[in-house]
Amino acid sequence: MSVKQISVFLENKPGALVEMTKVLAANDVDMRAFSLAETSDFGIARIIVDDLYKTTTVLKDAGFVHSVSSVLAVAIPDVPGGLSQVLAVMAQEGSNIEYMYAFLGGKAGSAYMIFKVAGHHKAAAALGAAGIRLVDQEELSEL
Amino acid sequence: MAERYYQPEIETASREQIRQWQDERLVRQVRHVWDSVPYYRKKMEEKGLTPDDIQSAADLHKLPFLSKHDLREAYPYGLMGVPLKDCVRIHSTSGTTGKRVVAFYTQADIDLWEDCCARALTAAGATAEDVCQVSYGYGLFTGGAGLNGGSHKVGCLTVPISSGNTERQIMFIRDLNATILCCTPSYAAYLAETMKEMGLSPDQIPLKAGIFGAEAWSEEMRRDIEKTLGIKAYDIYGLTELSGPGVAFECSAQNGMHINEDHFLPEIIDPDTGEVLPDGEQGELVFTSLTKQAFPLLRYRTRDICVLSREKCSCGRTHVKMSKPRGRSDDMLIIRGVNVFPSQIETVLLNQGYSANYQIIVDRVNHSDTLDVQVEMTPEMFTDNVGEITRRQKELTDGLRSMLGIGAKVTLVAPKSIVRSEGKAVRVIDKRKI
Q: In this complex, do B382 and A67 lie within 8 Å of one another by their Cβ atoms? A: yes
Both B300 and B342 in one domain: the answer is no
Q: What is the pLDDT of residue B99?
A: 64
Which residues 6+ apart lie within 8 Å of A65 measured at CB? Answer: A8, A9, B377, B378, B379, B382, B414, B415
Both A99 and A123 in one domain: the answer is yes
Residue A7 sits at the chain B interface (C-beta within 8 Å):
yes
- Domain encompassing residue B397: 333-430
**End position of a domain, from candidates B261, B296, B326:** B326
Both B349 and B400 in one domain: the answer is yes
Kindly state whether residue A39 falls inside one of the protein's structural domains: yes
The answer on pLDDT for A106 being more than 70 is no
Task: Select the residue of B378, B386, B416 nearest A37 (Cβ to Cβ).
Answer: B386
Q: What is the pLDDT of residue B343?
A: 81
Domain containing residue A128: CATH number: 3.30.70.260
B354 to chain A: which residues are within 8 Å by CB?
Answer: none
Q: In what order do the strands lie in the sheet with B264-269?
A: B264-269, B283-289, B300-306
Kindly state whether residue A143 falls inside one of the protein's structural domains: no
Helix (H) or strand (E) holding A44: strand A42-49
Q: In this complex, do B382 and A9 lie within 8 Å of one another by their Cβ atoms? A: yes
Q: Which amino acid is at B3?
A: E
**End position of a domain, from candidates B293, B326, B359:** B326
Most B-contacting residue of A65, A68, A71, A99 (CB-CB within 10 A), to test interface: A65
Q: What is the pLDDT of residue A52?
A: 92
Residue B197 sits at the chain A interface (C-beta within 8 Å):
no
State how far residue A59 is from chain B, nearest Cα, in angstroms.
12
State how far residue B414 is from chain A, nearest Cα, in angstroms.
6
Q: In this complex, do B386 and A16 lie within 8 Å of one another by their Cβ atoms? A: no
Question: DSSP per residue over B25-57, as a string?
Answer: HHHHHHHHHHHH-HHHHHHHHHTT--GGG--SG
**End position of a domain, from candidates A69, A91, A108:** A69
- Domain encompassing residue A76: 71-137
- Residue in B with minimal Cα distance to A45: B384
Angle between helices A82-93 and A120-129 (to 10 degrees): 130
Q: In what order do the strands lie in the sheet with B321-322?
A: B157-159, B131-134, B180-183, B209-213, B232-239, B244-250, B257-259, B321-322, B308-309
Residue A46 sits at the chain B interface (C-beta within 8 Å):
yes
Kindly state whether residue A33 falls inside one of the protein's structural domains: yes
Residue B414 sits at the chain A interface (C-beta within 8 Å):
yes
Most B-contacting residue of A19, A36, A42 (CB-CB within 10 A), to test interface: A42
A9 to chain B: which residues are within 8 Å by CB?
Answer: 377, 382, 412, 414
Number of Cβ atoms within 10 Å of the Cβ of B84: 9
Q: What is the pLDDT of residue A76?
A: 87
- Give the largest CA-CA distance in chain A: 45
**End position of a domain, from candidates B304, B326, B348:** B326
Residue B386 sits at the chain A interface (C-beta within 8 Å):
yes
Both A59 and A81 in one domain: the answer is no
- Residue in B with minimal Cα distance to A63: B415
Both A92 and A126 in one domain: the answer is yes
Tens-digit pLDDT string for chain B (434 aa): 678 999 999 999 999 999 999 999 999 999 999 999 999 999 999 999 999 999 999 999 999 999 988 988 898 899 999 999 999 999 987 555 556 789 999 999 999 999 999 999 999 999 999 999 999 989 888 999 999 999 999 999 999 999 888 889 999 999 999 999 999 888 898 899 889 988 999 999 999 999 998 877 888 889 999 999 999 999 999 999 999 999 999 999 999 999 999 999 999 999 889 999 998 999 999 999 999 999 999 999 998 889 999 999 999 999 999 998 876 666 678 787 777 888 888 888 988 888 888 999 998 887 778 899 999 998 888 988 888 899 999 999 999 988 888 889 999 998 888 877 776 677 888 887 65
Both B187 and B279 in one domain: the answer is yes
Q: What is the pLDDT of residue B271?
A: 86
Task: Select the residue of B390, B411, B414 nearest A9 (Cβ to Cβ).
Answer: B414
A39 to chain B: which residues are within 8 Å by CB?
Answer: 386, 390
A33 to chain B: which residues are within 8 Å by CB?
Answer: none
Both A44 and A77 in one domain: the answer is no
Q: In this complex, do B377 and A42 lie within 8 Å of one another by their Cβ atoms? A: yes
Number of Cβ atoms within 10 Å of the Cβ of A68: 12
Both A86 and A121 in one domain: the answer is yes
Task: Select the residue of A5, A9, A116 nearest B377 (Cβ to Cβ).
Answer: A9
Q: What is the pLDDT of residue B190?
A: 85
Distance of CA B408 to the CA centre of its chain: 27
Both B119 and B18 in one domain: the answer is yes
Q: What is the pLDDT of residue A58?
A: 95
State how far residue A82 is from chain B, nearest Cα, in angstroms.
27
Q: In this complex, do B417 and A11 lie within 8 Å of one another by their Cβ atoms? A: yes
Task: Select the residue of B385, B412, B416 nearest A41 (Cβ to Cβ).
Answer: B412
Proportion of chain A in helix, strand, coil states, percent, rounded to 5: 35, 35, 30
- Count how many pairs of residues, chain A against chain B, have C-beta atoms within 8 Å: 49
Both B318 and B351 in one domain: the answer is no
Rounded Cα–Cα distance for residues B252 and B332 (Å): 29
pLDDT, mean of residues A32-42 = 88
**End position of a domain, from candidates A49, A69, A89:** A69
Q: What is the pLDDT of residue B189?
A: 87
Domain count, chain B: 2
Residue B261 main-chain phi, psi, to 5 deg:
-70, -15
Both B235 and B359 in one domain: the answer is no
State how far residue A108 is from chain B, nearest Cα, in angstroms.
31
Both B236 and B183 in one domain: the answer is yes
Domain count, chain A: 2
Both A48 and A79 in one domain: the answer is no
Kindly state whether residue A119 falls inside one of the protein's structural domains: yes
- Residue in B with minimal Cα distance to A11: B413
Q: In this complex, do A9 and B383 lie within 8 Å of one another by their Cβ atoms? A: no
Both B28 and B76 in one domain: the answer is yes
Rounded Cα–Cα distance for residues B356 and B306 (Å): 22
Q: What is the pLDDT of residue B49?
A: 96
Q: What is the pLDDT of residue A140?
A: 79
Both B45 and B132 in one domain: the answer is yes
Both A44 and A34 in one domain: the answer is yes
- Residue in A with minimal Cα distance to B409: A41
Kindly state whether residue A81 falls inside one of the protein's structural domains: yes
Both A44 and A65 in one domain: the answer is yes
- Residue in A with minimal Cα distance to B380: A65
Most A-contacting residue of B384, B386, B392, B412 (CB-CB within 10 A), to test interface: B384
Please state the pTM of the whole predicted model. 0.72
Integer CA distances (angstroms), B176 to A46, B203, B206, in order: 45, 15, 9
Which of B287, B275, B285, B279 has the alpha carbon at shortest distance from B309?
A: B279
Both B128 and B231 in one domain: the answer is yes
**End position of a domain, from candidates A69, A94, A115:** A69
State how far residue B221 is from chain A, nearest Cα, in angstroms.
22
* Residue-level length of chain B: 434
Task: Select the residue of B385, B386, B415 nearest A65 (Cβ to Cβ).
Answer: B415
Query: In the structure, how many helices (H) and strands (E) does chain B have?
Result: 11, 20
Q: In this complex, do A66 and B377 lie within 8 Å of one another by their Cβ atoms? A: no
Decide which of A117 and B249 is more confident. Answer: B249
Domain containing residue A40: CATH number: 3.30.2130.10
Both B106 and B217 in one domain: the answer is yes
Helix (H) or strand (E) holding B284: strand B283-289
Kindly state whether residue A142 falls inside one of the protein's structural domains: no
Both B126 and B223 in one domain: the answer is yes
Task: Select the residue of A11, A66, A69 nearest B413 (Cβ to Cβ).
Answer: A11
Both A26 and A63 in one domain: the answer is yes
Both A37 and A59 in one domain: the answer is yes
**Is-contact B158 B165, C-beta < 8 A?**
no
Domain containing residue B380: CATH number: 3.30.300.30
Both A62 and A9 in one domain: the answer is yes
B396 to chain A: which residues are within 8 Å by CB?
Answer: none
Q: In this complex, do A98 and B378 lie within 8 Å of one another by their Cβ atoms? A: no
Residue B198 sits at the chain A interface (C-beta within 8 Å):
no
Both A75 and A132 in one domain: the answer is yes
